[in-house]
Copies of this chain bind each other. A is one copy, B any other.
């Protein structure tokens, strides 16, 4: 695929995202109120059921198949010592995902979601498991403190890789709920930089410790992000430019996967801070995508609240997660499913009152 073909695919995908079905949502909302419970008494579960009804265009939405997509990419900025883990851990984890041994395997398994692992840019050479989907655009990004993360062409290709792999996975499984997760040592640095640019906030307010660095390292991380932004001048009105300058290959692919899932009629489950950075990119390209998104949880990363505010999405869960991999999205799946099940399985007050009067 050439980068102009990739650009075309991105535009076509964006143009095929439809608004939610308002009249079905209204009908679903009325049905929620008629069910055997005081109106609104199941709070956010009702909201989830109604949203899924609007996405699927039916008052009885289905949640048979669920997907958990994990995009992996490495980050050149790890050369600056921004992460507690060495970069080769990305490859260790990709192997663990394919072997069924990581946190996401346990949690997606419990949620009944099928996992697909896609390498869009690991840097470490490793024995690729047969289950792995390999769509490597390049071997890790450049060190954003001193160079662009990737070329503009590579950014188009990485977003397109997300669109294609998510589109294929949805076509194969018929998934109606798609969790979007990631693996990439060093990627909280890129995610914080993207958050600063897309929300217009000071990097100091949206940068945290990632999966394990202390206060001194957070200060260093903030300094690196400020330097990267000063060097590259990313402009939020050009999302592909922002991705190429300070983004990540897996973040670009997640952005594409979210666009594809929205275009494909699925509910898009944002995971944590890195997945949220992908969502900010997708939202900058196509604000309509937000309607089909659910923010699964509030990450322990401080920048996650800024993302939530920008996306105008309220997290469903707050469990102190800071792992990524799609683990938060997996935990949100039972809530979405339960919201849909209310519409399909509960009785109405009217039906039950009739039965009380006539016990036959």
Inter-subunit contact B356/A42 (CB<8 Å): no
User: How many identical subunits does the complex contain?
Assistant: 2
Residues of chain B within 8 A of A331, CB atoms compared: 45, 334-335, 338
Segment touching B, from A3-11, A94-102, A190-198: A94-102
| Closest-CB distance, A275 to chain B (whole angstroms) | 15
Report the bound CA distance from A211 to B40 in whole Å: 9
| Closest-CB distance, A111 to chain B (whole angstroms) | 7
Residues of chain B within 8 A of A92, CB atoms compared: 349, 352-353, 356
Inter-subunit contact A42/B327 (CB<8 Å): yes
Contact string, A280-319, partner B, CB cutoff 8 A, digits 1/0? 0000000000000000000010000000000000001111
Report the bound CA distance from A280 to B69 in whole Å: 43
Closest to A347 in B: B101
Interface residues of A (CB under 8 A from B): 35-45, 84-85, 88, 91-93, 95-96, 99, 101-103, 105-107, 109-111, 126-127, 211-212, 300, 316-323, 327, 331, 334-335, 337-338, 341-342, 345-347, 349, 351-353, 355-356, 359
| Closest-CB distance, A65 to chain B (whole angstroms) | 16
Report the bound CA distance from A55 to B335 in whole Å: 26
13 residue pairs of the A-B complex, CB under 8 angstroms, read A36-B93, A37-B102, A37-B103, A38-B212, A39-B212, A41-B321, A41-B323, A92-B349, A92-B352, A99-B355, A101-B351, A103-B346, A318-B318
| Closest-CB distance, A251 to chain B (whole angstroms) | 19
Residues of chain B within 8 A of A337, CB atoms compared: 110
Residues of chain B within 8 A of A335, CB atoms compared: 319, 331
Inter-subunit contact B95/A42 (CB<8 Å): no
Closest to A346 in B: B106
Indicate whether A106 sits within 8 Å of B341 (C-beta atoms), given known contacts A42-B327, A334-B111, A346-B101. Answer: yes
Inter-subunit contact B126/A356 (CB<8 Å): yes
Indicate whether A43 sits within 8 Å of B319 (C-beta atoms), given known contacts A345-B106, A352-B101. Answer: yes
Report the bound CA distance from A102 to B127 in whole Å: 51
